[in-house]
Amino acid sequence: MTYGSETWSLTMGLIRRLRVTQRAMEKAMLGVSLRDQIRNEEIRRRTRVTDIAQRVAKLKWQWAGHIARRTDGRWGLKVVEWRPRTGKRSVGRPQTRWTDDIRRVAGSRWRQAAQDRVLWNSYKRPMSSSGRQLVEMMMMTIYLRFPLSFKEPVIAQWVGLRLRFRGGEFESQHASLTFLSYVRFKQLKNDLLQR
């Protein structure tokens, strides 16, 4: 079910379809029907199967690090670096690219970060405790509006939470916050707004 998942662009719709399929397979393995009214958490506990979204995110993270560290000029890296001839994407909301969710976690310089295995794995380590956090970090970015005076991208550590300020000189006065939990997000927001 995860064959080739390293190359997928993770979207909420894709993750939802994968989870629905996985739940159906787990119910079939246990011989459980909807009439039995057993919660999905209980079925997951009985089967002891890893959540498909967590598995796909982990495989993609490992593959991204592998691709970024390659120096032999194979097609994998060339495809990641490829840009259309016109230099423009089609009109309308742009489709999710393969690198978009990697950039949400590791920033725009993810390929340089992947060269250092310790740094690259440090992005993954806090996420592997529950597994779900990697998926959340790949899929979500929250924007806060408050004035910033930073001239360069800054990475700040605060209670184990990685806060990334994006943009060259922050002309739009936005700070993007990739978060691990909503509670920590609210604590950080209150702390920053009080300063």
pLDDT in tens, 104-116: 778 888 888 889 8
Where does the pLDDT of residue 78 fall: very low under 50, low under 70, confident under 90, or very high at 90 and above? confident
Nearest Cα to 120, choosing from 162, 66, 75, 55?
A: 66
- 66 in a domain, yes or no? no
- 195 in a domain, yes or no? yes
Mean pLDDT (the chain) is: 71
- 53 in a domain, yes or no? no
Three-state DSSP state, 142? strand
The pLDDT of residue 158 is 32
Three-state DSSP state, 1? coil
Q: Is 22 exposed, middle or buried (0-12, 13-18, 19+ CB in 10 A)?
A: buried
The pLDDT of residue 32 is 92
- 125 in a domain, yes or no? no
Neighbouring CB atoms inside 10 A of 47's CB total 15
- 158 in a domain, yes or no? yes
The pLDDT of residue 139 is 52
Q: What is the pLDDT of residues 31-52, one digit of tens each?
A: 999 899 999 889 999 999 988 8
Count of structural domains within the chain: 1
- Determine contact, residues 141/63, Cβ cutoff 8 Å: no
Q: Does 80 or 20 have the greater pLDDT score?
A: 20
Handedness of CA 124, 39, 46, 18 (dihedral sign): negative
- 167 in a domain, yes or no? yes
Q: What is the pLDDT of residues 154-166, one digit of tens each?
A: 333 333 334 444 4
- 19 in a domain, yes or no? no
What's the CA gap between 68 and 111, in Å, rounded?
A: 5
Most confident among 82-91, 94-103, 155-164 (mean pLDDT): 94-103
Q: What is the pLDDT of residues 174-184, one digit of tens each?
A: 333 433 344 55
Q: Please state the pTM of the whole predicted model.
A: 0.62
Three-state DSSP state, 134? helix
Q: Of 11-25, 70-84, 116-130, 168-182, where does mean pLDDT reach its minimum? A: 168-182
Residue 188's domain comprises 141-195
- 145 in a domain, yes or no? yes
